Amino acid sequence: MDSTSESPRVLLQACTKSQNITLSLYAKPEERAAAVAAAAAIVRRFGQQEAAAEASGGGGSHGGSAAGGRVGTALRDCVHALCQWRDAEARRQDEGERERKVLP
């Protein structure tokens, strides 16, 4: 195959793919997903630190149970609520700034 016969086919494929992407409906990502991921990372990190403190004999009872450094349900719920609030507040401020810059 020479490049002259392949060029129109590649161009047609690129245009078709571009058209399909353009015609697809944009769905705003779920806001809650980012907050849940952040909260899970914080809780996991906290649990690991607590387990390491217990293993070294340092105690580490910051709201977690004594069994394996697991973070308690109340603390996990609090972290999730704080992460959701932080994410919602950041989005509100970011979208507010964008609107002020775009609109006269």
Q: Which residue has the higher pLDDT, 104 or 19?
A: 19
Residue 2 domain-assigned? no
Split into its structural domains, the chain has a count of: 1
Classify residue 23: in a domain, yes or no.
no
Is position 75 within any domain?
yes
* Model confidence at 68: pLDDT above 70: no
Range of the domain at 97: 30-102
What are residue 71's DSSP bridge partners?
64
Show Cβ contacts of residue 94 under 8 Å, excluding neighbours closer than 6 positions: none
pTM of the model: 0.49
Task: Identify whether 93 is part of a domain.
Answer: yes
Read off the pLDDT of each residue in 77-92 and give the average, rounded to a whole number.
89
Burial of 50 (0-12, 13-18, 19+ CB in 10 A): buried
